[in-house]
Structure 1
Amino acid sequence: MTVKDKQKEILTLFKGLTSLSHTPLPEAERDPRLHDVGILERGHLFSCFHEAHLHEAQELYELLWEAKDFSDFIHLCKQAREIVNEGLFVFAVSVAVLHRDDCHGVRVPPIQEIFPDRFIPAETINRALKADLQRGDQDVVSVEIEHTGNIIDPEFKLAYFREDIETNAHHWHWHLVYPANWRSDFFGKAKDRKGELFAYMHQQMCARYDCERLCTGLQRMAPFQNFEEELEGYAPHLVSLVSGAPYGTRSEGMHMHDVNDVDVLDLIRWRERILNAIHTGHVTDYNGKEVKLDEEHGIDILGSLIESSHDSMNKRYYGSLHNWSHVVIARIHDPDGRFMEAPGVMDDTTTSLRDPIFYRLHRFMDNIFQDYKHRLHPYTHDELDFPGIHILSTTVKSKVANVIHTTLKQDSLELHHGIPLKGSVKVKYEHLDHDQFDYSIVVDNKTGKDKHATARIFLAPKYDELGNRIILDEQRRMYIEMDKFRVDLHPGKNTITRSSDKSSVTITHVPTFDELEAGIGVGENDSEFCSCGWPSHMLVPRGTTRGMKFQLFVMLTDFEKDDVGGSSQAHLCSDALSYCGVKDEKYPDKRAMGFPFDRTITQRFPTQFSTHNMSFTDIRIQFVEAKHH
């Protein structure tokens, strides 16, 4: 069976899941292997933050992973589709497809086309359904997306970021590649530094969010601090077509309450225990043994504790701070279920980024990770230096040197694969985008030998809300990773040129349902990490119409010291390796994620901090209003 044939089989599993027609599979006809699934009723909203939901999803994806061959796998999937909850089915089948060896080269279709109702406001879906009924003989019907708020709410200025379709899809996809309850011993495949990657990927989301806040004239966010505080409101304007229920709205001034499975006091207790572990320098595992939070593994151990993944050293004691915080906030409007309201968007990885509280909650988590990092010594000159390597200049080459232009671009999302319609209906929307640019880095290699280096590129705002220069220790938490790549340096002068569209953070294009059906983007040699990666159109912050000053940081480190060894050069699924790692291999960088900005910096400004192998360059990001015809 060819990869393209397999792809077609896989696509049929994901079509029309919001359809109202469903005939349950009689018990007698079910494959006995599926007897432990089907607990979460169909029509309910599945959450991979909810312990019971996650456990059932794990049962299913492990069972699918163990299928004898591809046809047995498809047989089980087809039966499971008729038995299990719709959202749980998509999650579990997607995890299995991403990890089965006989599915190499096969892609999971975009989640925004499977469940468009999680990404498109209910008002727009309603207009699309009406337009479909009145379509006449049109091949394609188009509707414009509705706004979900207005300028009375200052947070509306950031709707373009929070509600970006592909950014939300990235978050869903990351949690497929790194499921919380992945059992390395069962699969025989370790997820290298999974806890650290959880901490880093979410820290980067917060850094990007704060950059965007400054771009739009807002203050940086105040982290969520206290479990009794009154929270800001949020109305998602989403209605689930699977459940028929709207995602819950949080009115201004509500605060967290106990839910059926967990108390707010539990969350407070877990936080205190994790902080106590950081302050004493060790965690206590299931057997009562003390495990040191050392420089190499400490952040990874803490990431697993806080997310509460299968790798948590002691879930009974340290609990599940991240996952249950999501659930408790999602149920804030109906904590004990007396009104039978659906949870809010924080319950779901495809929708949680839409809510401003997501970023404040993750900044609170990041503050815990930073508390640990503060206890490590700041990097010494020797740890930062690459003797004999001098960066002479860094330039951003674009229409105007050291100026990057951003704008809003139009795009569309096809609905008919996810919603039963008479024909093609597209929703038109706008998203942020930027002009393509190149980095040009001039380096003098004074060692007299060929050297292998890792180039690390980051970007951060230079000034705060009040126009004051941000000191380096504050700025370091706003540095967003732009790229990381290997480069060879010959003796003497070298000019490194690197295009922005090669970024190790982003994924260039996610093939649509229609493209996958036509065999586009399907194949054994596909390098992108199974569609995991930050969307390329969101690589660069928005900037301002006058042009906002950012600092571009470039650092060259010794590849011999960075190399993890043993990894093949032709990685499978490795496009966005900074945020997604490399499939079934070690994370391709020995240094801490976010190095050199992951630890306290005692120097106030770049001139005091930088070594010859670094450069800080002032650039401007200018937002240009799009002219629609």
Structure 2
Amino acid sequence: MSLHGKQVVVLKLFDRLSLAAVGDKLPKEERDPRLKNVGILKPTEIFSCFKPEHLEEARHLYETFYSAKDFDDFIHLAEQARQFVNSTLFAFAAEVALLHRQDCKGLSVPPIQEVFAERFIPAASLIRAFTEATTRQPGDERDIVVDVEDTGNILDPEYPLAYYREDIAVNAHHWHWHIVYPSVWNSEYFGKSKDRKGELFYYMHQQMCARYDCERLSNGLNRMIPFHNFEEPLEGYAPHLAHLASGRHYAPRPDHLRLHDVKGVDVLDMMRWRERILEAIHLGHVTDSHGNDIPLDEEHGVDILGALIECSHDSKNPDFYGNLHNLGHVMMAYIHDPDGRFQETPGVMTDTATSLRDPIFYRFHRFIDNMFLEYKATLPSYTKEQLSFADVEVVGVKVNAIDTDVVRTFTREDELELVHCMNFGSPRSVRARYHHLDHESFTYTINVQNNSTAAKEATVRIFLAPKFDELGNEIPLDEQRSLAIEMDKFRSQIQPGKSTIVRSSSDSSVTLTHELTYRQLLHGEGISEHRTEYCSCGWPQHLLVPRGNEKGMVFHLFVMLTDWSQDKVSDGSAEAEHACSDAVSYCGVMDEKYPDKKAMGFPFDRTIETTREGFFTPNMSLTEVTVRYDK
């Protein structure tokens, strides 16, 4: 079968998936015996990547898919499972298997926002699209486009950030990241590990929180107050999203509700787990399930801690240190009906494709991040020697856009195809028109002086952080580092003498370059044997730059060059060109080591105990850049 032929078969697995399993069409006696451990979660339930029992069933399914003897056998199993397995659980498992099967190289899952459009587009807009499609006059074959309207207003203090939290691509990114790094991934079963998976869990979510605070400052809001008290009343949130498989909705959360015990976890459990993790951080070691002490050293400590807090398969002692992150999501998702007496559906915190919409997501993850910061504070600050790059000096940096050192952001219109999610009874296209933040393209020009007589290989690290706080005061460097967002990281050769590095914003190591639509995949566009489903992981390019404001918001652009010979992880294997390695900062490189020996977020991952002047070395540069939002 040709690569395009395989791709068409895969697309059919995901077309209008939400209702595929409703009704249990395939009798148990006709199912392949390899699927005996799945089909437990009802098709009408909302699947959660955070509930242990849901993850366990998903693990059974993707390991079954992965073990299929060939591509045809995989498709046979998938076509059967599609008929009775919960649709979201099926999508999760099928995507994990597609990502790792050798005979699925070059194949992609259609964008999750097209498969489950109801997780990204408000229910009222979907109903309006369906109504218009089914009431058109016979013979009217024009495409249908409906506008997505706001679901909140200024009475909600968090409303100004809705454009960011409810951005379609950023929620899709979160779904895909948890596909690439499923918490139940068993390295021994697959024969391949996910390098620094626990550290990536920390860093990717920390960066989302840093970006969120940058957006808050852009909109004149205070930085968020971390969730920190298990008895505090939480702010409300209403997602206005449907769940097609059940015909129900993601439940809203009224204001001022407090956490309560839910099935599988008590509030006191959460408190105990937090205290045990903090105790391990201060003792400098965790105790594994056999009673052995595992040091939280500089090289592996944050990775061990990440696995512990997420309670991934790699957790050293899940019985003792618990499941703080995942069950925290569950507890917040069921806060309105903790004991299930009203048989209510959960809120959006239960689902990786929707949880970023809720303001509490960021406050909860800042609470998680602060535990990592507690650990980082136990490590010594970086020395001048660790920060320096002998003979290399950054002598000037500028950002080239329409105006030098000014980046303009604006609101752009886009459309999402809905026909692969719902049946509108017509072959015509039905789309939802929405708006999202975007920015103009720009380039960095970095002038460098190499005072040695030999060429040097450098790692170029670029961060952006707001200069001023909510009150207009300049933010101290040690405080500013938690707001620093990684913009790019790449390798460059520095010739002796003066040289210039030019880098485009579109080449960022953080962002996803392009995601192919269902229609493009169907027609064979962009299909390549070098492309994998890994290509769907990455931060959206249009959200690389914070919004800024109409007056122009001042940011510090930090550029640092480090010695690549000390940063590289091997003698070349991980530095080779890989398909979809454009978003390595948040997603790593498939089946390879993370291509940077230094800690993620270096040099801002550790406490800075000196002044800005005392911290800086010649291989660093700080430039003021203005981000101006044009309405």
TM-score class normalised by the smaller sequence: over 0.9
Residue 169 of structure 2 corresponds to: 166
Superposition map of 1:292-331 within 5 A: 292-331=295-334
Superposition map of 1:276-425 within 5 A: 276-421=279-424, 422=426, 423-425=428-430
Residue 213 of structure 1 corresponds to: 216
Q: Distance in 2 between matches of 1:343 and 1:27?
A: 29
Deviations 1:63-109 (A, max 9, x none): 10000000000000000001211110011001101111111111111
Higher mean C-alpha displacement, 503-512 vs 459-468 = 503-512
Answering whether residue 609 of structure 2 is matched by residue 602 of structure 1, we say yes
Superposition map of 1:217-256 within 5 A: 217-256=220-259
Which amino acid letter does the alignment assign opposite residue 19 of structure 2?
S
Answering whether residue 521 of structure 2 is matched by residue 510 of structure 1, we say no
Which amino acid letter does the alignment assign opposite residue 577 of structure 1?
V
Which amino acid letter does the alignment assign opposite residue 299 of structure 1?
V
| Structure 1 residue 526 displacement after superposition | 2.9
Q: Distance in 1 between matches of 2:589 and 2:87?
A: 29
Q: Contact conserved, 1:18 with 1:420, CA < 8 A, in 2?
A: no
Q: Distance in 2 between matches of 1:197 and 1:33?
A: 33
Q: Distance in 1 between matches of 2:294 and 2:595?
A: 25
Describe the SS at the equivalent of 1:67: coil
Q: Distance in 2 between matches of 1:106 and 1:79?
A: 20
Q: Distance in 2 between matches of 1:433 and 1:568?
A: 31
Which amino acid letter does the alignment assign opposite residue 212 of structure 2?
Y
Q: Distance in 1 between matches of 2:223 and 2:624?
A: 21
Deviations 1:424-451 (A, max 9, x none): 2100000000000000000000011110
**Any stretches of 5+ residues in structure 2 without a counterpart?**
none
Describe the SS at the equivalent of 2:452: coil
Q: Distance in 2 between matches of 1:465 and 1:568?
A: 41
Answering whether residue 74 of structure 2 is matched by residue 73 of structure 1, we say yes
Describe the SS at the equivalent of 2:491: strand
Residue 459 of structure 2 corresponds to: 454
Answering whether residue 497 of structure 2 is matched by residue 492 of structure 1, we say yes
Residue 471 of structure 2 corresponds to: 466
Residue 624 of structure 2 corresponds to: 618
Q: Distance in 1 between matches of 2:142 and 2:97?
A: 35
Q: Contact conserved, 2:172 with 2:353, CA < 8 A, in 1?
A: yes
Q: Distance in 2 between matches of 1:614 and 1:135?
A: 62
Which amino acid letter does the alignment assign opposite residue 435 of structure 1?
E
Residue 581 of structure 2, aligned match among 574, 577, 586: 574
Q: Contact conserved, 2:511 with 2:583, CA < 8 A, in 1?
A: yes
| Structure 1 residue 22 displacement after superposition | 4.5
| Structure 1 residue 230 displacement after superposition | 0.4
Q: Distance in 2 between matches of 1:341 and 1:521?
A: 43
Q: Distance in 1 between matches of 2:584 and 2:532?
A: 10
Answering whether residue 108 of structure 2 is matched by residue 103 of structure 1, we say no
| Structure 1 residue 135 displacement after superposition | 2.8
| Structure 1 residue 525 displacement after superposition | 2.3
Deviations 1:383-426 (A, max 9, x none): 00001000000000010000000000000000000111123210
Post-superposition, which runs of at least 4 consecutive aligned residues in structure 1 deviate over 6 A?
none
RMSD across aligned C-alpha pairs, in angstroms?
1.0
Which amino acid letter does the alignment assign opposite residue 619 of structure 2?
N
Q: Distance in 1 between matches of 2:77 and 2:19?
A: 20
Deviations 1:5-58 (A, max 9, x none): 111110000011233774521122111111111000111100010000000000
Answering whether residue 267 of structure 2 is matched by residue 264 of structure 1, we say yes
Q: Distance in 2 between matches of 1:178 and 1:41?
A: 25
| Structure 1 residue 509 displacement after superposition | 1.5
| Structure 1 residue 522 displacement after superposition | 1.5
Residue 480 of structure 2 corresponds to: 475
| Structure 1 residue 528 displacement after superposition | 8.2
Q: Contact conserved, 1:173 with 1:531, CA < 8 A, in 2?
A: yes
Residue 566 of structure 2, aligned match among 558, 561, 572: 561
Which amino acid letter does the alignment assign opposite residue 370 of structure 1?
L
Residue 51 of structure 2 corresponds to: 50
Q: Contact conserved, 2:107 with 2:532, CA < 8 A, in 1?
A: no
Residue 19 of structure 1 corresponds to: 19
Aligned pair in 2 of structure 1 residues 527, 31: CA closer, same or farther (>3 Å)?
closer
Residue 29 of structure 1 corresponds to: 30
| Structure 1 residue 2 displacement after superposition | 2.0
**Any stretches of 5+ residues in structure 1 without a counterpart?**
none
Describe the SS at the equivalent of 1:295: coil
Deviations 1:535-585 (A, max 9, x none): 000000000001000000000000000000132512133120000000000
Deviations 1:213-241 (A, max 9, x none): 00001000000001000000101111111
| Structure 1 residue 527 displacement after superposition | 7.6
Q: Distance in 1 between matches of 2:551 and 2:263?
A: 51
Describe the SS at the equivalent of 1:530: helix
Which amino acid letter does the alignment assign opposite residue 49 of structure 1?
F
Q: Distance in 1 between matches of 2:62 and 2:625?
A: 47
Answering whether residue 586 of structure 2 is matched by residue 585 of structure 1, we say no
Q: Distance in 2 between matches of 1:402 and 1:572?
A: 32
Describe the SS at the equivalent of 2:460: strand
Q: Contact conserved, 1:527 with 1:574, CA < 8 A, in 2?
A: no
Describe the SS at the equivalent of 1:299: helix
Deviations 1:276-329 (A, max 9, x none): 000000000011000000000000000000001000000011010000000000
Describe the SS at the equivalent of 1:439: strand
Q: Contact conserved, 2:105 with 2:532, CA < 8 A, in 1?
A: no
Which amino acid letter does the alignment assign opposite residue 283 of structure 1?
V
Which amino acid letter does the alignment assign opposite residue 124 of structure 2?
E
Describe the SS at the equivalent of 2:459: strand
Aligned pair in 2 of structure 1 residues 577, 414: CA closer, same or farther (>3 Å)?
same
Describe the SS at the equivalent of 1:390: strand
Q: Contact conserved, 2:109 with 2:533, CA < 8 A, in 1?
A: no
Q: Contact conserved, 1:582 with 1:588, CA < 8 A, in 2?
A: yes
Describe the SS at the equivalent of 1:428: strand
Which amino acid letter does the alignment assign opposite residue 432 of structure 1?
L
Higher mean C-alpha displacement, 17-26 vs 486-495 = 17-26
Aligned pair in 2 of structure 1 residues 41, 513: CA closer, same or farther (>3 Å)?
same
Answering whether residue 534 of structure 2 is matched by residue 525 of structure 1, we say no
Answering whether residue 442 of structure 2 is matched by residue 437 of structure 1, we say yes
| Structure 1 residue 138 displacement after superposition | 2.8
Q: Distance in 1 between matches of 2:255 and 2:96?
A: 37
| Structure 1 residue 604 displacement after superposition | 3.3
Describe the SS at the equivalent of 2:193: coil
Describe the SS at the equivalent of 1:591: coil
Q: Distance in 1 between matches of 2:512 and 2:79?
A: 30
Describe the SS at the equivalent of 1:186: helix
Describe the SS at the equivalent of 1:553: strand
Q: Distance in 1 between matches of 2:287 and 2:391?
A: 44
Which amino acid letter does the alignment assign opposite residue 574 of structure 1?
S
Q: Distance in 1 between matches of 2:537 and 2:62?
A: 19
Residue 199 of structure 2 corresponds to: 196
Aligned length: 624
Aligned-residue identity in percent: 58
Which amino acid letter does the alignment assign opposite residue 41 of structure 2?
L
Q: Contact conserved, 1:528 with 1:574, CA < 8 A, in 2?
A: no
Aligned pair in 2 of structure 1 residues 527, 26: CA closer, same or farther (>3 Å)?
closer
| Structure 1 residue 158 displacement after superposition | 0.3
Q: Distance in 1 between matches of 2:160 and 2:79?
A: 43
Q: Distance in 2 between matches of 1:454 and 1:3?
A: 37
Q: Distance in 1 between matches of 2:611 and 2:122?
A: 45
Describe the SS at the equivalent of 1:39: coil
Q: Distance in 2 between matches of 1:341 and 1:451?
A: 61
Q: Contact conserved, 2:19 with 2:87, CA < 8 A, in 1?
A: no
Aligned pair in 2 of structure 1 residues 471, 568: CA closer, same or farther (>3 Å)?
closer
Q: Contact conserved, 1:160 with 1:432, CA < 8 A, in 2?
A: yes
